[in-house]
Amino acid sequence: MAGYLVEDERKVTTHRLIEMKKQGRKIAMLTSYDYTMAQIVDQAGMDIILVGDSASNVMAGNLTTLPITIDQMIYHARSVARGVKRAMIVCDMPFGTYQVNPTEAVKNAIRIMQESGVDALKLEGGVEILDAVKLILDAGIPVMGHLGLTPQSIHKFGTYAVRAKEEAEAAKLVSDARALEEAGCFALVLEKIPAALTAQVCRELSIPVIGIGGGPADGQVLVVHDMLGMNKGFSPKFLRRYADLFSSITDAVGQYITDVKNGDFPNENERY
């Protein structure tokens, strides 16, 4: 098995991530939803692996993140946890599991932690969910915030366009970010907002800010299927593709079909 592509093989912790920001070292974060992919991503040296509720889109084929259930998230998170040694694993709390009331939120948070073995949870929203965030933190569970384009609110937004371009929404985002830091969140994801606003939040907060479609930040996150080029239909401006696995897999599968149909597979050496 290949070793890590990083020198420091110690487990990544909330403390180390905050140190990385202080030292100006960038944080790399990527999603994973299953054991095999998580093992590869971890061994490549990823700092944070996110078991995102984007599993609803890329694993289950739903149009939004809303349908995924807590049981399905626990299944994905437990599979990832089995494959990871070094990266910090963060799991999204799915839609409906923390918005009803703080008591229900902390019960669901504890359940995800106990049944999955992840290291931290991510919740979307600002002051509206602050009481839930505080109660989860009081239970000893590290929380990562998520502001800007929060996909669980897509029906309220009505569009996947860039958020917080207007002054009022930008001001609310900055005050939400401060409130999440003061509550004790260890990091914050900012999704699809103007780069200047991301830069301002990075300057004002001492916790790491992880961007996606928000320009330079203390770190970056992408959905693994998108950056590996497995998802042809999704091409936002912010996405950089590092492979074209859709074509590679299609070619490999096509070659296998040809070999089976021609009787070329299995050959003399591929039988007992």
- Enumerate the active-site residues: 191
Interactions with ligand KIV, residue window 128-187 (CB under 6 A): none
- Of residues 27 and 221, the one with the C-beta less far from ligand KIV: 221
Candidates 42, 47, 92, 181; binder of ligand KIV (CB under 6 A) is 92
Candidates 202, 221, 227, 230; binder of ligand KIV (CB under 6 A) is 221
- Number of residues engaging ligand KIV in binding (CB under 6 A): 11
Interactions with ligand KIV, residue window 59-78 (CB under 6 A): none
Nearest distance from C-beta of residue 95 to ligand KIV, angstroms = 11
Nearest distance from C-beta of residue 255 to ligand KIV, angstroms = 32
Q: Is residue 212 close enough to count as binding ligand KIV by CB under 6 A? A: yes
- Of residues 9 and 44, the one with the C-beta less far from ligand KIV: 44
Q: Is residue 189 close enough to count as binding ligand KIV by CB under 6 A? A: yes
Candidates 14, 32, 43, 54; binder of ligand KIV (CB under 6 A) is 54
Q: Is residue 31 close enough to count as binding ligand KIV by CB under 6 A? A: yes
Q: Tell me the residue number closest to ligand KIV, measured at CB.
A: 52
> SS3 for the chain, per residue?
CCCCCCCCCCCCCHHHHHHHHHCCCCEEEEECCCHHHHHHHHHCCCCEEEECCCHHHHCCCCCCCCCCCHHHHHHHHHHHHHHCCCCEEEEECCCCCCCCCHHHHHHHHHHHHHHHCCCEEEEECCHHHHHHHHHHHHCCCCEEEEEECCHHHHHHHCCCCCCCCCHHHHHHHHHHHHHHHHHCCCEEEEECCCHHHHHHHHHHCCCCEEEECCCCCCEEEECHHHHCCCCCCCCCCCCCCCCCHHHHHHHHHHHHHHHHHHCCCCCHHHCC
Q: Is residue 53 close enough to count as binding ligand KIV by CB under 6 A? A: yes
Give the residues lining the site for ligand KIV (CB under 6 A).
31, 50, 52-54, 92, 189, 191, 212, 221, 223
